[in-house]
């Protein structure tokens, strides 16, 4: 029997979390070591998966399929293709770096690292599950540790933010569960297998049925993305969450919603996907422009980055709406790039907050002279986020807009306004934080340290590498995207 690579990737964090529960709570060094080793092993395994992946094939690879609950045809079914492989690597990379970034957590470390590792297992399982029931289990597993990680280790309004996150996500999950059950009972024979449902072997679903079921999935996925007007939980959760959890929240959790559209809604409910293309494009436009305007109005550094996420995820919606191979490639690449860039930005916000104990942009100024290394790293991530050519953010946004322009010219033309606004608020932030005269309150502030730099350099390397050579990741996803577009009946442009 071949080595169960995907099971190892998924459950290594949970295994380490269980071991941590057996360690005395005063052995904090051992606890950190176990958590770091586990997330490091997952990262190594994900790199092995990348090296062994055949990117010329659109088929599922490294598949594991075992009967789990045979009475209702539920299987333990894992697999990876071009749509999920980048997101698995993203989760493994951010999971490891945010674990190192968690060394600053001083209270209740045993509980923190257990919940952190459980969260990692839930996120990885969501991207690997090919059975709808198993997908839903992993999706819900993510909810519980995130609630406690915000509610216990968060900021002054942590309980409010945690409860708001929990209620929003749970409400969406209820509709998603109803849609899963509807698909199960409408299929012949009854199945939760995503690949079988997408292939049409279980029957062809009527368009009216597809539209209703698509709407149920939409509510579950749109809240996670988040799509306007379901975005209001995100700034509160980001601002109150500890820095490493903000990294995973922006870098990975938001991608679960977009991934749901790619893996479930579009392949299985093809007619409904075409039916909802225009609303998707309009919602993408609203996200891009509205999110950018609201980000511009923020004085809290973390809240500004949080609202920038709302804006950037709008490009994913616009790419999905385009029904073109270019738009789909751009949308999927945007999910990966946004995770890397925004993860880095939240780590940088955390570096500043640890020293200054404030996130008020207007209270800084002139830090570029006192923190030159920090200033350089912040500038790279900022320019990547605003879409400077040569850095990763530009490639995915350009492809999303290019795909969108083929299908929705006016909407895409207006969406470009979001890029201008984004450049405005990010450059204004750079001016207020790094340039000008030094505020006397920060004369003794220290530059970024080696541990903090260790969490940022790999992300910066990815940002530059993909900006210069985007085929590095596009090669992995192109075959799967081409097959998805062909199955839906979209444009091979």
Q: pLDDT per residue over 299-338, tens digit each?
A: 888 999 999 999 999 999 999 999 999 999 999 999 999 9
Query: Which tens digits make up the pLDDT trace of 38-62?
Result: 999 999 999 999 999 998 888 899 9
Q: Does residue 122 register a pLDDT over 90? A: yes
| Domain-embedded: residue 472 | yes
Q: Does residue 1 register a pLDDT over 60? A: no
Query: Which tens digits make up the pLDDT trace of 398-451?
Result: 999 999 999 899 999 999 999 999 999 999 999 988 888 887 778 888 888 899
Spatial CB neighbours of 227, under 8 Å, sequence gap ≥ 6: 257, 283, 287, 313, 317
For residue 73, name the pLDDT band (cuts at 50, 70, 90): confident
Domain that holds residue 366: 276-493
Give the distance between the most distant pair of CA atoms in the chain: 71
Give the model's pLDDT for residue 395: 92
Q: Does residue 492 register a pLDDT over 80? A: no
Question: Which among 163-167, 187-191, 378-382 has the top mean pLDDT?
Answer: 378-382
| Domain-embedded: residue 419 | yes
- Mean pLDDT over all residues of the chain? 91
Number of structural domains in the chain: 1
Q: Mean pLDDT across the stretch 215-242?
A: 89
Give the model's pLDDT for residue 426: 92
Q: Does residue 231 register a pLDDT over 90? A: no
For residue 362, name the pLDDT band (cuts at 50, 70, 90): confident
For residue 232, name the pLDDT band (cuts at 50, 70, 90): confident
For residue 104, name the pLDDT band (cuts at 50, 70, 90): confident
Q: Does residue 464 register a pLDDT over 70? A: yes
Lowest average pLDDT, out of 279-283, 364-368, 482-486, goes to 364-368
Give the model's pLDDT for residue 403: 92
Q: Does residue 178 register a pLDDT over 60? A: yes
Report the 10 Å Cβ neighbour count for 486. Answer: 12
| Domain-embedded: residue 345 | yes
| Domain-embedded: residue 367 | yes
Q: Mean pLDDT across the stretch 126-141?
A: 94
Give the model's pLDDT for residue 493: 65
| Domain-embedded: residue 346 | yes
Q: Does residue 455 register a pLDDT over 80? A: yes
| Domain-embedded: residue 321 | yes
| Domain-embedded: residue 322 | yes
| Domain-embedded: residue 11 | no
């Amino acid at each position: 029997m071949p080595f169960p690579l995907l099971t190892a990737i998924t459950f290594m964090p949970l295994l380490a979390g269980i071991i941590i529960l057996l360690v005395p709570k005063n052995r904090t060094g051992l606890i950190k070591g176990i958590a770091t080793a586990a997330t490091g092993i997952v990262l190594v395994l994900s790199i092995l998966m990348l090296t062994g992946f055949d990117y010329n094939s659109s088929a599922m690879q490294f598949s594991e399929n075992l009967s789990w609950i045979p009475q209702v045809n539920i299987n333990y079914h894992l697999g990876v293709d071009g749509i999920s492989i980048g997101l698995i690597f993203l989760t493994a990379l951010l999971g490891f770096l945010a674990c190192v970034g968690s060394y600053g957590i001083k209270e209740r470390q045993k509980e923190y690292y257990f919940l952190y590792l459980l969260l990692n297992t839930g996120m990885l399982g969501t991207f690997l599950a090919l059975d709808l029931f198993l997908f839903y289990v992993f999706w819900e597993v993510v909810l519980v540790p995130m609630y406690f990680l915000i509610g216990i280790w968060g900021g002054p309004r942590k309980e409010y933010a945690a409860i708001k996150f929990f209620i929003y996500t749970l409400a969406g999950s209820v509709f998603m569960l109803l849609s899963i059950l509807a698909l199960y009972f409408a299929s012949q024979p009854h199945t939760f297998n995503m690949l079988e449902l997408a292939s049409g072997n279980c029957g062809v679903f009527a368009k009216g049925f597809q539209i209703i079921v698509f709407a149920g999935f939409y509510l579950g996925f749109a809240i996670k993305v988040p799509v306007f007007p379901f975005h209001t939980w995100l700034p509160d959760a980001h601002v109150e969450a500890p820095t490493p959890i903000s990294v995973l929240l922006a870098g990975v959790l938001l991608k679960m919603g977009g991934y749901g559209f790619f893996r479930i809604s579009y392949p299985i409910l093809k007619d409904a996907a075409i039916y909802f293309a225009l609303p998707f494009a309009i919602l993408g436009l609203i996200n891009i422009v509205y999110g950018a305007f609201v980000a511009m109005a923020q004085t809290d550094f973390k809240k500004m980055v949080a609202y920038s996420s709302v804006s950037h995820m709008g490009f994913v919606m616009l790419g999905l709406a385009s029904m073109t191979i270019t738009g789909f490639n751009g949308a999927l690449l945007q999910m990966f790039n946004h995770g890397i860039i925004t993860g880095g930005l939240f780590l940088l916000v955390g570096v500043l907050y640890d020293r200054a104990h404030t996130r008020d942009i207007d209270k800084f100024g002139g830090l570029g002279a006192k923190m030159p290394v920090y200033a350089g790293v912040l500038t790279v991530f900022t320019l990547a986020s605003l879409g400077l050519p040569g850095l990763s953010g530009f490639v995915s946004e350009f492809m999303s807009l290019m795909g969108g322009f083929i299908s929705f010219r006016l909407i895409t033309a207006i969406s470009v306004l979001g890029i201008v606004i984004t450049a405005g608020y990010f450059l204004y932030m750079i001016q207020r934080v790094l340039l000008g005269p030094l505020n006397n309150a920060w004369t003794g502030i220290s530059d970024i340290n080696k541990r903090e730099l260790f969490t940022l350099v790999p992300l910066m390397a990815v940002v530059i590498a993909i900006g210069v050579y985007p085929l590095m990741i596009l090669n992995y996803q192109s075959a799967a995207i081409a097959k998805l577009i062909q199955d839906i009946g979209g444009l091979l442009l």
